[in-house]
Amino acid sequence: GSQCGAATACCTRAAISSTAPLQTRKLQRVGALVRRRERRHSHRVTVRASSEAGMADDLLIIGPGVLGSYAGKLWLDSKPGSTVTGQTNSDGSHDRLRSLGITPTLRPEDPRSVAKYDNVLFSAPPSGSADYVAEVSSSLERWTGAGAFVFTSSASVVAVSDGGDADE
């Protein structure tokens, strides 16, 4: 897979990379294991095909904020008849998502108990979760292993005029 530098935004097909402290990530097709090692923890997720999977042109967006919503709208425009589902932590943006043609849903308690998708876009910020690594791992449970799992990340410049520490 490909990897991104700490100060770039990226989208990779069948690869996962981020600015988080995850060191090694290897992603393989259906039936394979996703191995991700962190400095202190090791996580393992089994990726399985599912008969519940949406159509090949359907998309699940984890974190349909500005970037995710834009990608969802582009997806719908380029793939007539497809469905885009936007998974959120609260229902605060559900009306906005519906107005774009995106079907909103709340994050499930157990991601293994709900439908899987061939195409997943992870665009949730680290600030939206108490355990970001677990959130990414949980999102991988929603992917069939077919299509693409796309992980987005970003970095920004923060101005500090007094020479102190920046606190986002």
Residue 129: pLDDT band (50, 70, 90) is: confident
Token pair belonging to 159: 């101005």
For residue 46, what are the β-bridge partners? 33
pLDDT score recorded for residue 168: 61
CATH no. for 50-151:
3.40.50.720
For the chain, the structural domain boundaries read 50-151
Please name the amino acid found at residue 64: P
Residue 34: pLDDT band (50, 70, 90) is: very low
Q: Is the pLDDT of residue 55 over 90?
A: no
Q: Is the pLDDT of residue 148 over 90?
A: yes
**CA end-to-end span of the chain, whole Å?**
30
Residue pLDDT, tens place only, 44-53: 433 333 334 4
The average pLDDT across 107-127 equals: 89
